């Protein structure tokens, strides 16, 4: 739907709220990047900044929701317009959660010591974080460019993110069994890995919204699930 | 008291009107092109579309109101309960008693409220006595959600009522002959929001007993009152489906452009 509304203010409203969500996406990507960098370089100040900046993401989420409520009340959107508004509400929630995960990683940073044998998992953690960040950024891209193929591709990639998490889980478990003194750090690192894995799920959620806006239906295939840690 | 039938429950309904390959010409103008549609009983069907798309023309085919226009020619097949309404043996006056109509502007007769409603039953010989007729008038006015407001002044002129009351009087007049189908051509476009809400509430109630077909320019009204929506464009029936689907995920780009208020 590329043609404009007869009432141009309606177009401005929809574009405005979508722009806000995209700005939020940029802030969340930054927060995730910084939280991982702070963790791996044990930069407490940077971690504190991530925690502080999360407030701005939360405020943007509230602003998006109230803009959407206003559009629903004043413009009574239908069809693709309605789907855009609904998707924006959903994506805003997805991003807000991702922001919380970054904040949680930052919160744990001071407690994660620089224990060398365990920080080997740091490399794996960084790789996973980069992988998931790329998923998130492609998810937002697929939404704004209405690219169904890209959205489906990101959904498929979530399998790999889940597998990365499984591997990390196993290796952290091994560390804890071998050396009980590593338990505290390993537990923190495990929660961090889980947080990163969850960001992948939210990226998938954003892609589902991209497909919903385009087709009016949620993707048919069940979301691939590869988290096998519940059986370990 | 009210049935809470949701818009999802429209399937499994009996077909009231069945139209096949309907063409309407005004002189050389081809106003309706090849329209096929089934209108269900106990369902509100909304016709939407831009001005001049043929929705009112098609509505008027359903009770042969177009017969009164000399240059109008209708082809195709329209059946009410399986019977061809354009058959030579069908009396249009009898047909219109079965298929009532309410117009855009309230048009009460310059008579009393009572006589407005009693007119149809009288000419169709539906009442055997004065008491009988009184009962028919009361029932129709109750159905029109007007009884409580006018029961003390039944012999006051109908034209003295407010716009919204006049429209409800016209609906009461239309239901007095016990029709099976009620056609409404923009029944609320001359009414304020409160009167509109009252008429819409009335439509929802009438649906329990009748098949209602409403032409409206208000998307929101179509969305609020109907279970089925038909979108007309340039004389074609572009899309016909469950109202919830039409307003969230229409199949045709033209429908989408129209209901979302885009140029196209």
The answer for B158, left when phi > 0, alpha when psi is -120 to 50, beta otherwise, is alpha
Among the partner residues A3, A76, A78, nearest to B264 by beta-carbon distance: A3
Contact B95, B84 (CB under 8 A): no
Banded model confidence at residue B263, pLDDT cuts 50, 70, 90: low
A2 has pLDDT over 60:
no
DSSP tally for chain A: helices H, then strands E = 7, 0
Q: Is B16 helix (H, G, I), strand (E, B) or coil?
A: strand
Distances (CA, A) of B3 to B9, B150, B204, B243: 11, 27, 10, 19
Task: Specify the pLDDT at position B4.
Answer: 46
Give the CA angle between residues B194, B197, B202 to the nearest 5°. 130
Q: Give the whole-angstrom CA distance, residue B62 versus residue B51.
A: 19
> Do A80 and B263 lie within an 8 Å CB cutoff?
no
Nearest to B227 by CA among B9, B44, B91, B89: B44
Q: What is the pLDDT of residues B148-164, one digit of tens each?
A: 999 999 999 999 999 99
CB contact, 8 Å: B257 with chain A? Answer: yes
Is B220 touching A (CB cutoff 8 A)?
A: yes
Q: What are phi and psi of B46, to 5 degrees?
A: -105, 135
Q: What percent of chain A has pLDDT over 70?
A: 94
Of B220, B250, B263, the CB nearest to A6: B263
**DSSP one-letter code for A82:** H
- Eight-class DSSP state of A223: P
Please compute the mean of the pLDDT values over residues A19-26 and round it to a whole number. 96
- Residue A20, min C-alpha distance to chain B (Å): 22
Does the distance separating the beta carbons of A5 and B262 come in below 8 Å?
Answer: yes
pLDDT for position A223:
63
| Alpha carbons B187 and B171: distance in angstroms, whole number | 9
- The values of phi and psi at residue A43, to 5°, are -95, 95
From residue A6, alpha-carbon distances to A95, A207, B51, B69, B257 in Å are 32, 29, 16, 35, 10
Indicate the DSSP class of residue A4: P
The pTM assigned to this predicted structure is 0.80
For domain A9-231, which architecture applies? Up-down Bundle (1.20)
Of all residues in chain B, the percent with pLDDT exceeding 70 is 95
Looking at CA atoms only, how far is residue A78 from chain B in angstroms?
Answer: 5
Residues B45 and B226 sit within 8 Å (Cβ to Cβ): yes
Give tens-digit pLDDT for A191-229: 999 999 999 999 999 999 999 999 999 887 666 666 777
| Burial bucket for residue B111 (CB in 10 Å: 0-12, 13-18, 19+) | middle
Q: Does B249 touch chain A (CB under 8 A)?
A: yes
Q: Does residue B203 register a pLDDT over 90?
A: yes
Average pLDDT over residues A121-125: 89
Q: Which domains does chain B have, with CATH numbers?
A: 7-259 (3.40.50.300)
Q: CA dihedral defined by B202, B206, B211, B217, rounded to 10 degrees?
A: 0
B260 touches chain A (CB under 8 A): yes
Is the predicted pLDDT of residue B139 greater than 80, yes or no?
yes
Q: Residue A216's closest chain B neighbor by CA?
A: B249
> What pLDDT, on a 0 to 100 scale, did the predictor assign at position B12?
59
Tell whether B248 is within 8 A of chain A (Cβ). Answer: yes
If one counts every other C-beta atom within 10 angstroms of the C-beta of residue B148, the result is 9
Say yes or no: A73 contacts chain B, CB-CB below 8 A.
Answer: no
Contact present, A34 and A50 (Cβ < 8 Å): yes
Mean pLDDT over A145-165 rounds to: 96
Q: Of B213, B167, B207, which Cα lies nearest the Cα of B187?
A: B167
User: How far lies B117's CA from each of A66, B40, B149, B245, in Å?
Assistant: 50, 27, 15, 38
In which band, very low, low, confident or very high, does the pLDDT at B230 lie, cut at 50, 70 and 90? very high
Q: Does A79 touch chain B (CB under 8 A)?
A: yes
CB contact under 8 A, B262 and A217: no
Q: pLDDT, tens digit, for every residue of B42-62?
A: 999 999 999 999 999 999 999
The minimal CB distance from B250 to the residues A5, A76, A79 is found for: A79
Task: Supply the pLDDT for residue A117.
Answer: 67
The whole-angstrom distance between A66's CA and the closest CA on chain B is 21
- The alpha carbon of residue B254 is apart from the nearest alpha carbon of chain A, in Å, by 11
Instruction: For residue A180, give the 3-state DSSP assignment.
Output: helix
Distance from CA of B251 to the nearest CA of A (A): 10
Distance CA A70, CA A75 (A): 8
Q: Which of A6, A9, A75, A79 to mutate to test the interface with B (most CBs of B within 10 A)?
A: A79
Find out whether B147 and B117 touch, Cβ atoms under 8 Å. Answer: no
Both tokens assigned to B143? 């159905």
Minimum-distance CB partner of A76 among B220, B249, B255: B220
Distance CA A122, CA A125 (A): 5
Q: Where are the domains of chain A?
A: 9-231
């Amino acid at each position: 739907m590329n043609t404009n509304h007869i009432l141009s203010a309606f177009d401005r409203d929809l574009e405005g709220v979508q722009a806000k969500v995209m700005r939020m996406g940029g802030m969340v990507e930054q927060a995730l990047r910084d939280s991982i960098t702070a963790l791996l370089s044990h930069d407490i100040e940077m971690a504190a900044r991530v925690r502080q900046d999360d407030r701005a993401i939360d405020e943007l989420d509230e602003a998006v929701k109230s803009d959407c409520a206003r559009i629903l009340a004043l413009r009574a959107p239908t069809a693709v317009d309605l789907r855009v508004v609904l998707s924006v509400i959903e994506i805003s929630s997805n991003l807000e959660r991702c922001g919380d995960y970054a904040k949680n990683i930052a919160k744990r940073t001071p407690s994660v010591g620089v224990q060398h044998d365990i920080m080997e998992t740091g490399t794996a953690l960084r790789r996973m974080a980069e992988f998931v960040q790329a998923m998130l950024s492609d998810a937002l891209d697929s939404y704004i460019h209405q690219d169904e193929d890209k959205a489906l591709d990101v959904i498929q990639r979530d399998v790999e993110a889940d597998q990365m998490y499984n591997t990390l889980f196993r290796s952290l478990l091994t560390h804890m069994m071998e050396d009980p003194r590593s338990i505290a750090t390993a537990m923190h690192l495990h929660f961090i890995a889980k947080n990163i894995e969850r960001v992948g799920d939210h990226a998938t959620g954003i892609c589902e919204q991209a497909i919903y806006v385009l087709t009016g239906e949620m993707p048919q295939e069940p979301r691939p699930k590869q988290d096998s840690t519940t059986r370990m | 008291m009210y049935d809470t039938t949701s818009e999802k429950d429209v399937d499994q309904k009996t077909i009231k009107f069945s139209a096949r390959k309907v063409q309407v010409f005004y002189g050389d103008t081809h106003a309706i092109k090849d329209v096929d549609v089934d209108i269900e009983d106990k369902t509100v069907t909304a016709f939407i579309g831009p001005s001049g798309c043929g929705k009112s023309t098609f509505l008027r085919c359903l009770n042969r109101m177009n017969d009164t226009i000399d240059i109008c020619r209708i082809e195709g097949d329209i059946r009410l309960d399986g019977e061809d309404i354009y058959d030579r043996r069908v009396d249009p006056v009898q047909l219109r008693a079965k298929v009532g109509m309410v117009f855009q502007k309230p048009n009460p007769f310059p008579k009393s409220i009572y006589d407005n409603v009693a007119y149809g039953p009288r000419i169709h010989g539906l009442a055997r006595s004065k008491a009988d007729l009184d009962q028919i008038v009361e029932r129709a006015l109750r159905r029109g959600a007007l009884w409580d407001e006018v029961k003390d002044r039944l012999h006051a002129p109908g034209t003295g009522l407010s716009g919204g009351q006049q429209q409800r009087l016209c609906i009461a007049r239309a239901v007095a002959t016990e029709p099976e189908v009620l056609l409404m051509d923009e029944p609320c476009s001359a009414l304020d929001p409160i009167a509109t809400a009252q008429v819409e509430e009335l439509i929802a109630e009438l649906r329990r007993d009748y098949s209602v077909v409403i032409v409206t320019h208000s998307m929101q009204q179509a969305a609020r009152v109907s279970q089925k929506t038909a979108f007309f464009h340039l004389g074609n029936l572009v899309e016909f489906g469950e109202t919830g689907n039409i307003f969230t995920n229409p199949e045709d780009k033209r429908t989408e452009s129209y209901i979302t208020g885009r140029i196209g």
